[in-house]
Chain A
């Protein structure tokens, strides 16, 4: 005989869990909307800067700017963008798995690469496995502004320029839709695959093409990082929303199963009581 009280207790606790997951789902969905807006607001800036950088870089061939030239790779850096908190489904694990696999394939020893981590989960993962985490950012707000990530973007670019590493890859979850995201690898530095400019306007440079590249390229690289971060944030909220939706649905299923069990047990108890009474009465006659 199943204990009635026990089932009742489980139903109640599942109900309160469901309330929490439901609330988290709603919070995430509103955050997702905001994140999507942010990502959208950013598109014109990105397109513009890409356009101009492409135009200048193709206009000043062989500028020899350090950020544009590939050099022999002694050390590789991986910038991994994840989240601070869990409960986001496979958001972090899929990206970490991908990075780990890539590292295992490309490198033999731990001296050959460094990690730049964005998000607590990412940092803890790599620190725990004794990878060299050269720089990390945790505690980013849900709607990060450009100023929030300037620090790490500048550091990432700076360490490339001063030769700490010779190439920089960026990993983040690209936001596809509310239910799908895909792990994306992007080679950030050196900037070898600049898209040629769509417009063939030949610019006058004031004071000179090199001087502009000097200012523009770091800004460009920083903006790529920021773009990836916004993209990552959107998919973080999306995958948290999906995970919480699944949890809520599961809780509902569980509750209905348990209610069924509870009612059966209750009915069985009543039936038994009646049988006992009838049996008792029959025995008296």
Chain B
């Protein structure tokens, strides 16, 4: 199977750079699967995981907090405010973040805080899910 180069870049540096055979990402308008030789495309990403299928059949999961994906026939780039490979996720921190965000959501405050807490909760849950591999 043909492979395509994927790199994932965040403001704090590159996170991932390798050849894969398929990329499955969650965009704001739904999940997409991208193979090598795809036409050039750009799509914004939702908070979620990107699945990278390797040539040997193994899969890698990376948690993303938004950003966008840029597809070119020979190269796929993902730019995100933050990205973490499943193994390197700090679950304890994520669980604490979930608690914090849930606490905030219950204590009803003004609108903006609510929105931010909701996003924080989504990011933290996403991290935990990715780490446990149930995507």
In Å, the complex CA distance between A208 and B109 comes to 34
Contact between B81 and A52 (Cβ–Cβ < 8 Å)? no
Question: A199 — which chain B residues lie within 8 A by C-beta?
Answer: 72
Asked, given contacts A41-B14, A215-B68, whether A204 binds B39 with beta carbons under 8 Å apart, the answer is yes
Shortest distance from the beta carbon of B77 to any chain A beta carbon, whole Å: 6
Residues of A contacting B28 with CB < 8 Å? Answer: 207, 211, 215
Q: How large is the interface on B (under 10, 10 to 19, 20 to 34, 35 or more residues)?
A: 20 to 34
With A41-B12, A42-B13, A146-B11 already in contact, the answer to whether A48 and B40 are too (CB < 8 A) is: no
Smallest CB gap from B77: residue in A: A48
- On whether the beta carbons of A201 and B9 are closer than 8 Å, the reply is no
Contact between A206 and B11 (Cβ–Cβ < 8 Å)?
no
Minimum CB–CB distance from A4 to chain B (whole Å) comes to: 58
How distant is the Cα of A41 from the Cα of B14 in the complex, in angstroms?
7
A56 at the interface (CB under 8 A from B): yes
Q: Does A223 contact B (CB under 8 A)?
A: yes
Q: How far is the CB of B104 from chain A (nearest CB, A)?
A: 16
How many residues on A have C-beta within 8 angstroms of the other chain's C-beta atoms?
Answer: 29
Residue of B nearest to A52 (CB): B70
B-facing residues in A170-223 (Cβ within 8 Å): 199, 201-207, 211-212, 215-216, 219, 223
Does residue A44 face the partner (Cβ distance < 8 Å to B)?
yes
Do A44 and B9 contact each other (CB < 8 Å), given the known contacts A205-B42, A212-B42? yes
Given A207-B29, A219-B67: A45 in contact with B39 (beta carbons within 8 A): no
B45, closest chain A residue (CB): A215
B81 near A212 with CB under 8 A, answer: no
What is the CA–CA distance of A199 and B44 in the complex, to the nearest angstrom? 20
**With contact pairs A146-B81, A205-B43 given, residues A223 and B11 touching in the complex (Cβ less than 8 Å):** yes
B126 at the interface (CB under 8 A from A): no
Does B129 make an interface contact (CB < 8 A)? Answer: no
Establish whether residues A204 and B41, one from each chain, have CB atoms under 8 Å apart when the complex forms.
Answer: yes
22 sample A-B contacts, Cβ–Cβ < 8 Å, listed by A number:
A42-B11, A45-B9, A45-B11, A48-B70, A48-B79, A55-B42, A145-B11, A146-B81, A201-B72, A204-B39, A204-B40, A204-B42, A205-B41, A206-B27, A206-B41, A207-B29, A211-B44, A212-B44, A215-B28, A219-B79, A219-B81, A223-B11
Which 7 interchain pairs have the tightest Cβ spacing?
Answer: A41-B13, A206-B43, A215-B44, A146-B11, A204-B41, A201-B40, A45-B9
